[in-house]
Amino acid sequence: MNRFLGFVRKEFLHIFRDYRTLVILFGIPVAQILIFGFAVSMDIKNAGVAFLDLSHDEMTQKLSDKIISSGFFIKTEELLSYKDIDRVLKKGKTKAVIIFEEHFGRRLIRDGKASLSIIADGSEPNTATLITNYTTAIVNDFNMGIAPAQITGAMRIVPEVKMFYNPGLQSHFMFVPGVITLILILICALMTSVTITREKEFGTMEVLLVSPLRPIQIILGKVTPYFLLSFINVLLILALSWFVFGLPVKGSIVLLLAESMLYILMSLSLGILISTVSSTMQQAIFISLIGLMLPTILLSGFIFPIENMPKIYDYVSSIVPPRYFIIIIKNIMIKGTGLMYIWKETLILTVMTIVFIVISVRKFKIRLE
């Protein structure tokens, strides 16, 4: 045990003596969280919507059909009461709920005006804005269609917009969770893969081979410093999110930190796996950056909604770990959900972690032999 602790201490000293490693560990995360939080803004297209029809008349049916047939929306669910709104929005598949008031058609004919409410998921501000804009445009077009039938031309439907979870539609509600996901997988996988390939490239792996340390102890000794430092990164980013952007954690902070540790462990095990197929640091860096950065940005739902992509990309993204962590962190931080809403994603990350660790240890043993 003393040998193992001494080995871990040596790794910490090596990290702290290399200013480039410290810049990667702490400088890049701070820069990214500030740049992405303030400067980046993107628009997306389609989203799922649910309907709460309190009237069930011909007019609400026609307008519902017009909204769905526009091609911009997919109907996810028909709600029965207001209590279902929070439930469906927390699940994540439904991006907005459209509510028709009671006696919708009767009021439209009698009073010449009826109300329609649009409740959008503000945790994705760009999606919420686009949904409300498109829905309002479709309603206005519907108004133009029914007005000529009336002599007065005063017959119209008035949309009322509300935002859940992010009433101000602040863009950093979307980018902060995505940046956390991107930073952790890049830092953990990149640094872990490089630290092991460095031993092989510099010829110091032979020193470890003849030491009393077992292969699993060598792996643990390599990843332990990065696990602890990455956890500090999580705390640093959450602090920046709170003090700089005013983004609080609405859910359990303990659950969020536990999920972050699981994701860090998964990323570290992935880095070990990358090191087993890399013979030089350049190879490890290339595989880590190119193989992880682009899929995390493009296929995780960080910037571009997965439901808008062709079906083949949905299948490809299902093997991208950041896809599941983004769902987890958004649900905990922004929506305030508990484990019951994210247990599937947690289970998937756990299975991925176990698979990566098993493969890494086996391949590492083979290389040692």
DSSP labels, 232-293: HHHHHHHHHHHHTT-----S-HHHHHHHHHHHHHHHHHHHHHHHHT-SSHHHHHHHHHHHHH
Question: Residue 35 has what pLDDT?
Answer: 53
Residues 6 or more apart whose CB falls under 8 angstroms from that of 239 comprise none
Choosing from 164, 182, 198, the residue where a domain stops is 164
Pairwise pLDDT comparison (118 vs 10), residue with the higher score: 118
Burial of 293-309, coded b for 16+ CB within 10 Å and e otherwise, reads: eebbebbbbbbbbbbeb
138 and 124: one domain?
yes
Residues 6 or more apart whose CB falls under 8 angstroms from that of 332 comprise 249, 250, 251, 252, 255, 256, 259, 342
- Number of neighbours of residue 103 by Cβ within 10 angstroms: 15
79 and 175: one domain?
no
16 and 70: one domain?
no
pLDDT digits (tens, 9 = 90+) for 209-240: 666 667 677 777 778 888 888 888 889 888 88
Residues 6 or more apart whose CB falls under 8 angstroms from that of 101 comprise 54, 55, 107, 114, 115, 116, 117
Burial of 257-283, coded b for 16+ CB within 10 Å and e otherwise, reads: bebbebbbbbbbbbbbbbbbebeebeb
Domain count of the chain?
Answer: 2
pLDDT-wise least confident of 7-16, 213-222, 277-286, 359-368: 359-368
In this prediction the pTM is 0.74
pLDDT-wise least confident of 27-31, 159-163, 225-229: 27-31
| pLDDT category of residue 70 using cuts at 50, 70 and 90 | confident
Mean pLDDT in residue range 71-97: 87
Question: Residue 365 has what pLDDT?
Answer: 52
Gyration radius of the chain over CA positions: 25
| pLDDT category of residue 281 using cuts at 50, 70 and 90 | confident
137 and 200: one domain?
no
Question: Residue 348 has what pLDDT?
Answer: 95
Question: Residue 325 has what pLDDT?
Answer: 93
| pLDDT category of residue 27 using cuts at 50, 70 and 90 | confident
Average pLDDT, the chain: 80
77 and 107: one domain?
yes
pLDDT surpassing 80 at residue 54 = yes
97 and 158: one domain?
yes
pLDDT surpassing 80 at residue 291 = no
Residue 159: CA atoms inside 13 Å, Cβ hemisphere, count?
21
Question: Residue 346 has what pLDDT?
Answer: 95
Question: Residue 26 has what pLDDT?
Answer: 76
Three-class secondary structure of residue 134 per DSSP: helix
CATH of the domain at 157: 3.40.1710.10
106 and 227: one domain?
no
Beta bridge partners of 50: 77, 97
Pairwise pLDDT comparison (317 vs 347), residue with the higher score: 347
- Number of neighbours of residue 131 by Cβ within 10 angstroms: 26
Choosing from 109, 133, 164, the residue where a domain stops is 164
User: H helices within the chain, ranges in order?
Assistant: 2-17, 19-22, 28-39, 58-69, 83-91, 104-111, 125-146, 172-201, 205-209, 215-243, 253-276, 281-299, 311-317, 322-330, 343-368
154 and 229: one domain?
no
179 and 75: one domain?
no
Question: Residue 42 has what pLDDT?
Answer: 54
CA 209, 210, 215, 216 torsion: positive or negative?
A: negative
Tokens encoding 319: 């093997």
95 and 243: one domain?
no
pLDDT-wise least confident of 3-12, 23-32, 49-58, 163-172: 23-32
Instruction: Identify which of 14, 22, 11 has the alpha carbon closest to the alpha carbon of residue 221.
Output: 11
Tokens encoding 167: 């009433």
Choosing from 110, 133, 164, the residue where a domain stops is 164
189 to 29, 169, 284, 338: CA distances (angstroms): 14, 33, 9, 28
Going by the DSSP 8-state scheme, the letter that residue 101 receives in this structure is: P
243 and 348: one domain?
yes
Strand ranges of the sheet holding 94-100, from the earlier edge strand across to the other edge:
73-78, 47-53, 94-100, 113-121, 156-164
221 to 1, 68, 246: CA distances (angstroms): 11, 55, 37
Q: Please give the residue range of the domain that contains residue 229.
A: 2-41+171-368
Pairwise pLDDT comparison (68 vs 304), residue with the higher score: 68
Tokens encoding 304: 């571009």
Mean pLDDT in residue range 173-180: 80
Question: Residue 255 has what pLDDT?
Answer: 94
207 and 294: one domain?
yes
